[in-house]
């Protein structure tokens, strides 16, 4: 078992952490996030750091301690710096624009697809092909990015679709006739 959960959590400058009613509330420049803690864990503040203390040494309590330590670190980073996720539209005629706060995506359908941002999420568009999703909650940013990518995932033959920035799309060769073998030649 990992001992990561027993390490202290450092609180960044300008971040306020409040523990109440079996939960934790983290506030900073980018917003405010809340999360309930399971009954097996208790959050203590000592020496300007946070410590997650488990109720017993059972396997479930140990695993929850490591999980919630990571979640709290992401909350603190989110309210101080924020999280970003970039998506790129690849394909001829595929483009995106921002209309108010809504995204309007044209990606080969007979109609443009509109995406409303949930609370705490902001969209930015660059050069009609790059979508930047930003927010304080890492889970929400990732979920919105996955939903937008699911509108038109990259296909394996030409690579057209909506893909994460830096994502490698595994390509398939296509038909044998287009792969360089002339029809009727090379067959014994």
Q: Is position 176 within any domain?
A: no
Q: Is residue 170 part of a domain?
A: no
d(CA 130, CA 78): 22
Domain-ending residue, one of 65, 80, 95: 80
183 within domain boundaries:
no
* Number of domains into which the chain is organized: 2
pLDDT for the residue numbered 20: 83
Structural domain includes residue 187: no
Res. 181 pLDDT band, cuts 50 70 90 = low
Using the predicted structure, report yes or no on whether residue 159 has a pLDDT greater than 70.
yes
If you average pLDDT over residues 100-113, what whole number do you get?
94
Domain around 16 = 4-80
84 — pLDDT class (breaks 50, 70, 90):
very high
Is 174 inside any structural domain? no
Q: What is the CATH number of the domain that holds 160?
A: 3.90.930.12
The reply to whether 53 and 102 lie within a common domain is no
């Amino acid at each position: 078992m990992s001992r990561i959960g027993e390490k202290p959590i450092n609180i960044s400058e300008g971040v306020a952490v409040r523990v109440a009613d079996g939960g934790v509330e983290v506030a900073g420049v980018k917003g405010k996030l809340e999360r309930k803690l399971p009954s097996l864990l208790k959050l203590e503040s000592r020496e300007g750091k946070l410590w997650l203390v488990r109720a017993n040494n059972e396997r479930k309590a140990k695993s929850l301690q490591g999980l919630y330590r990571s979640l709290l670190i992401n909350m603190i980073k989110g309210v101080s710096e924020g999280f970003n996720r970039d998506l790129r539209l690849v394909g001829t005629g595929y483009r995106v624009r921002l209309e108010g706060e809504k995204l309007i995506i044209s990606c080969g359908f007979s109609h443009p697809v509109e995406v409303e941002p949930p609370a705490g999420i902001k969209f930015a568009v660059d050069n009609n092909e790059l979508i930047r999703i930003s927010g304080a909650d890492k889970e929400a940013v990732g979920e919105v990015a996955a939903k937008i990518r699911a509108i038109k995932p990259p296909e394996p033959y030409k690579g057209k679709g909506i893909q994460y920035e830096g994502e490698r799309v595994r390509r398939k060769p296509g038909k044998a006739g287009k792969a360089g073998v002339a029809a009727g030649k090379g067959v014994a």
